[in-house]
């Protein structure tokens, strides 16, 4: 058996194999890492195959090769195309903490639909009185509460987009600190304006926006970045919330507190170089 050629495009390789089948020559294809190899079993027909291959490489999209695939093609080719998976993409660009927070938020949202929002808020909301101050989870668990599908989708997309790379680059410990600190302070700021009945991950998201953007501006070697256009959009979205032009209740105080806190933490870390150089 003789190896005829190795190509990077498995579909083109199969097109040539199909065409040669119509000429009475049987070729085999094998995956070899990132390349696809074409093999010939009958050594005596190598000269014919090489001649046809030269013609094929000059015009691989010629109609006769496409027609040959319809005529001689088979679904049992042995080629395996990489399949796109949304879940795999999410896992590849996020660490354990990022995925855990996403999973918890989704579970809490489902519970709110099944048991009722008031019931779940009774368990997880910001402390409503002195008797709840000792229930330490309440100081951060309000970030897991979301009140609509749009609300949770918007927040989790931003959380994954910002938190995933940060965790991959700086570690789960840094993301944990930013999350807990920003959840507490953004919640405290919002409670001063609206009381204890609020929720959402957006205060943490704005902290991540500030942290990732300023880290990228001041220390590009940190490996973090947020396009300036997205940062401008986020600030405009924050400002729009104060004019009630969006027709929805927005935790403006939490957003501002989170953004300011994220900027301050990034300024501190880039000034003192506390990020991990990996």
Q: Distance of CA 131 to CAs 127, 136, 184, Å?
A: 8, 11, 18
pLDDT digits (tens, 9 = 90+) for 195-224: 888 999 999 999 999 999 999 999 888 888
Q: Which of 97-101, 113-117, 233-237, 267-271 has the lowest mean pLDDT?
A: 233-237
In the DSSP assignment, the letter for residue 37 is E
Q: What is the mean pLDDT of residues 63-75?
A: 67
Among 4-18, 19-33, 168-182, which range has the highest average pLDDT?
168-182
- CATH architecture of residue range(s) 2-72: 2-Layer Sandwich (3.30)
- Listed by start position, the domains of the chain span 2-72, 86-272
What is the Cα–Cα distance from 109 to 107, expressed in whole angstroms?
5
**CB of 202 within 8 A of CB of 254?**
yes
**Which of 161, 148, 237 lies closest to 199 in space, CA to CA?**
148
Chain centroid to Cα 227, Å, comes to 16
Q: Distance of CA 245 to CAs 241, 250, 262, Å?
A: 7, 11, 26
Of the residues 191, 202, 215, 222, which is catalytic? 202
SS3 35: strand
Residue 199 phi/psi, 5-degree rounding, is -175, 170
Q: Which tokens is 237 given?
A: 């979205």
What is the Cα–Cα distance from 242 to 252, expressed in whole angstroms?
7
- Who wins on pLDDT, 138 or 273? 138
What is the Cα–Cα distance from 40 to 43, expressed in whole angstroms?
7
Residue 126 phi/psi, 5-degree rounding, is -55, 145
The pTM (predicted TM-score) of the whole model is 0.67
- CATH architecture of residue range(s) 86-272: Up-down Bundle (1.20)
Of the residues 142, 146, 151, 255, which is catalytic? 255
Q: Which tokens is 236 given?
A: 């405009």
Clarify whether 194 is annotated catalytic.
no
Q: Where are the beta strands (DSSP E) in the chain?
A: 2-7, 27-32, 35-40
Clarify whether 69 is annotated catalytic.
no
What is the per-residue pLDDT for 266?
A: 94
């Amino acid at each position: 058996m003789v190896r005829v050629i190795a190509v990077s495009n498995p579909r083109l390789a199969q097109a040539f194999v199909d065409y040669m089948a119509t000429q009475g020559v049987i070729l085999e294809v094998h995956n070899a890492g990132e390349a696809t190899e074409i093999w010939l079993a009958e050594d005596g027909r190598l000269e014919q195959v090489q001649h046809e291959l030269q013609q094929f490489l000059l015009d691989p999209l010629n109609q006769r090769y496409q027609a040959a695939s319809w005529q001689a093609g088979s679904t049992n080719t042995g080629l395996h195309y990489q399949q796109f998976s949304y879940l795999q993409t999410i896992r590849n660009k996020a660490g354990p903490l990022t995925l855990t927070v996403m999973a918890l938020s989704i579970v809490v949202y489902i519970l709110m639909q099944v048991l009722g929002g008031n019931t779940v808020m009774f368990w997880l909301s910001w402390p409503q009185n002195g008797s709840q101050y000792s229930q330490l989870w309440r100081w951060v668990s309000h970030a897991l509460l979301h009140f609509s599908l749009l609300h949770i989708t918007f927040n989790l997309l931003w959380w994954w987009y910002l938190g995933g790379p940060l965790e991959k680059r700086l570690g789960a410990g840094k993301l944990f600190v930013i999350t807990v600190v920003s959840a507490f302070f953004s919640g405290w700021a919002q409670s001063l304006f609206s009381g204890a009945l609020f929720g959402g991950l957006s205060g943490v998201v704005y902290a991540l926006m500030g942290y990732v953007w300023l880290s990228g501006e001041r220390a590009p070697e940190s490996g973090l970045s947020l396009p300036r256009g997205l940062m401008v959009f986020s600030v405009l979205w924050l400002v729009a919330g104060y004019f009630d032009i969006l027709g929805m209740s927005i935790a403006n105080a939490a957003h501002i507190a989170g953004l300011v806190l994220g900027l301050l933490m990034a300024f501190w870390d880039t000034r003192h170089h506390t990020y991990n150089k990996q």
